[in-house]
Amino acid sequence: MSENDFMPDAAAARAPRTAVFRLLAGVLVGAEALVVVGLTIWLGISLFTTPAFSLLSAIALFVLVLIGAIGVCAMTVGIFRGQRWARSGGVVVQILVLAVAFGAATDQFAHPELGLQIGIPAIVTLAVLIAEIRSVGRADAAAERAAASRAAAEESAAPDANTE
């Protein structure tokens, strides 16, 4: 039996929408992962080609960005697999990116255009992640209601042992 055999009609109708949001969220977070991987490569190259004020700070920044790149790549894979931790991690990443965008737009050396270029994709990705989380939650709730009604139907169909 397939998973759809146990889904009520409303949940089965929502399943394609959940898949679309999952695909879209995975693609958007994957694009961010590619940007962070590119930043990691750029920092790695500049570590050897550009003199740094503090070599230790440059190495630490490279290691932190590398860890971030690995994390965002893992979240991308997790989102495509439908794992809950990846969606919540993706939301946290979007909030951090929005903080960076706000800083870029309002800092002492502000570049509002750069803040918008960083912030708009983060807002779009955050909205898609939230839509995917809500869609999965609705599908899960519908599946739980169907399981409860199935259990109640089986219980009422079974003969009562006390009536013998």
Predicted confidence pLDDT, tens digits, the chain (164 residues): 444 444 455 545 556 667 888 999 999 999 999 999 999 999 999 999 988 888 899 999 999 999 999 999 999 999 999 898 999 999 999 999 999 999 999 988 889 999 999 999 999 999 999 999 888 888 778 888 888 888 888 888 766 555 55
pLDDT at 74: 97
Residue 160 lies in a domain: no
C-alpha pair distances (Å), 86 with each of 70, 125, 132, 145: 13, 13, 12, 26
Query: What angle in degrees, to the nearest 10, is found between the helix axes of 112-157 and 84-106?
Result: 160
Domain span at residue 72? 11-139
Residue 150 lies in a domain: no
Residue 18 lies in a domain: yes
pLDDT at 56: 92
pLDDT at 12: 52
Residue 153 lies in a domain: no
Residue 65 lies in a domain: yes
pLDDT at 30: 96
pLDDT at 4: 46
Report the alpha-carbon distance of residue 65 to residue 99 in Å, rounded: 16
pLDDT at 1: 42
Residue 108 lies in a domain: yes
Residue 161 lies in a domain: no
**Number of compact structural domains in the chain:** 1
- Secondary structure letter of residue 8 according to DSSP: -
pTM of the model: 0.76
